[in-house]
Amino acid sequence: MNTCKTVFSQLIDYLPIYEFRKCVDRYDGNYKVQRFSCWEQFLTMAFAQLTYRESLRDIETCLRAMQNKLYHMGIKSKIARSTLSDANENRDWRIYQDFAQILITIARELYKNDDFFSELKSTAYALDATTIDLCLSLFPWAHFRKHKGAIKMHTLLDLKNNIPSYIKVTTGKVHEVNILDELPFEAGAYYVMDRGYIDFARLYSLNLNHAYFITRAKSNLEFNRIYSSTVDRATGLICDQTISLSGFYSSNNYPDKLRRIKYIDQRTEKSLTFLTNNFVLHALIVARLYKERWQIELFFKWIKQHLRIKSFYGTSQNAVKTQIWIAVSIYLLVAIVKKKLKLELSLYTFLQILSVSIFEKSPILELTNDVDYRFINNDHDNQLNLFNL
């Protein structure tokens, strides 16, 4: 690595700039733009994400203080908060969405051989959404409640590597289950969801696409038991049944058989009842797969705490979506760099190091090798599962 480059420039070298330019051209992002191109906008917002800037004024102040280093970072224009604000308001947010999708493909390829369940041959996904509250008077387009605004970030997380394979940002009014209408289901894959996604018509559509779902049953589920398999109760399993739905609407919407598994978590003594359309997996693997769904909760918690998506630099829908997609891109970039450099520290620790060394001219490997960061006692241990490989 060239030691004359800043840490920020070393990170940016891992981005496929040619692909970014294709995304810009697709939406005419630089049309009639004489200065502060889409690439400079991306770099400026990337700096804000990596260093946890609080506002446009904060970004402007910090970058102007480092004006002599900006050219080597790829930012040739003088930074002004009004210019950045206008760019976030007017440049098509889909540029950054498409670029994030390219980074998702790269990251998933890098992490595809990581260990998972040896019994599981197909991809497993966790599907969920997180709500980001907004002030309705400042974000009048973000309808949620009568006097409350919000947006939702619907995410499909690949449980094999904790890389999001699908993200959609909507207003808070859009119910999570509606996303099932838009997902391109992968034959043979497992989709793990909570009870909020129980819609038997949509689940049956998933079944017809030869994909598998695992979800928790609602307490008022009406069903007829067809067959019961033998289970070892010492493992926490209570029953493993083949059932058919008996409710009028549910049986019409899902006319096929289902598998019902009841399990007691021996650590928490909590009883859990699962529904799935897979009749081959061992019941304990089904329970463990649902337990792995917690990774998506950690993903949401991690990005809310460590990337700037809870406070926004603009109030328009375009500005908010631009910021979210650039935040996701930076998450993926750091994950890609971590994997390519074979770093053993957690993603959280890596970001902390980057945040205080952006303008240093030292190889990234040197920064991470000085101290054995893996053994630092951190208060955020419950989030270190992400990319803690």
| Secondary structure of 185-231 as H, E, C letters | CCCCCEEECCHHHCCHHHHHHHHHCCCEEEEECCCCCCEEEEEEECC
What is the H or E stretch that residue 244 is in?
strand 237-245
Residues 265 and 331 in one domain: no
Residues 75 and 11 in one domain: yes
Task: Give domain status of residue 81, yes or no.
Answer: yes
Q: Which residues contact 382 (CB under 8 A, 6 or more apart)?
A: 298
* Residue 384 CB-half CA count within 13 A: 16
Contact indicator for 203, 217 with CB cutoff of 8 Å: no
Task: Give domain status of residue 189, yes or no.
Answer: no
Distance of CA 284 to the CA centre of its chain: 26
- Cα separation, 197 vs 53, in Å, equals 36
- Cα separation, 294 vs 192, in Å, equals 10
Task: Give domain status of residue 104, yes or no.
Answer: no
Task: Give domain status of residue 205, yes or no.
Answer: yes
pTM: 0.82
Q: Which domain holds residue 62?
A: 7-96+313-383
Q: Which is it for strands 143-145 and 148-158: parallel, antiparallel or unpaired?
A: antiparallel
Residues 232 and 270 in one domain: yes
Q: Which residues contact 240 (CB under 8 A, 6 or more apart)?
A: 228, 229, 230, 231, 259, 260, 261, 283
Instruction: Name the domain boundary from 292, 327, 345.
Output: 292
The domain that holds 228 is classified in CATH as 3.30.1370
Cross-strand partners of 92? none
Per-residue pLDDT 10s for the chain (389 aa) are: 455 688 999 999 999 999 999 999 999 999 888 889 999 999 999 999 998 888 899 999 988 888 888 877 788 888 889 999 999 999 999 999 999 999 999 998 887 765 555 556 788 999 999 998 888 888 889 888 888 899 999 999 988 878 898 999 999 999 999 999 999 899 999 999 999 999 999 999 999 999 999 999 998 999 999 999 998 888 899 999 999 999 999 999 999 999 999 999 878 888 999 999 999 999 999 999 999 999 899 889 888 877 777 678 988 999 999 999 999 999 999 999 999 998 888 888 888 888 888 888 888 888 887 655 444 444 444 433 444 43
Task: Give domain status of residue 143, yes or no.
Answer: no
Residues 276 and 349 in one domain: no
Residues 12 and 73 in one domain: yes
Contact indicator for 45, 60 with CB cutoff of 8 Å: no
Residues 79 and 36 in one domain: yes
Task: Give domain status of residue 127, yes or no.
Answer: no
Residues 319 and 284 in one domain: no
CA distances from 165 to 141, 171, 293, 338 (A): 27, 20, 15, 18
Task: Give domain status of residue 142, yes or no.
Answer: no
Task: Give domain status of residue 71, yes or no.
Answer: yes
Number of domains present in the structure of the chain:
2
Residues 321 and 288 in one domain: no
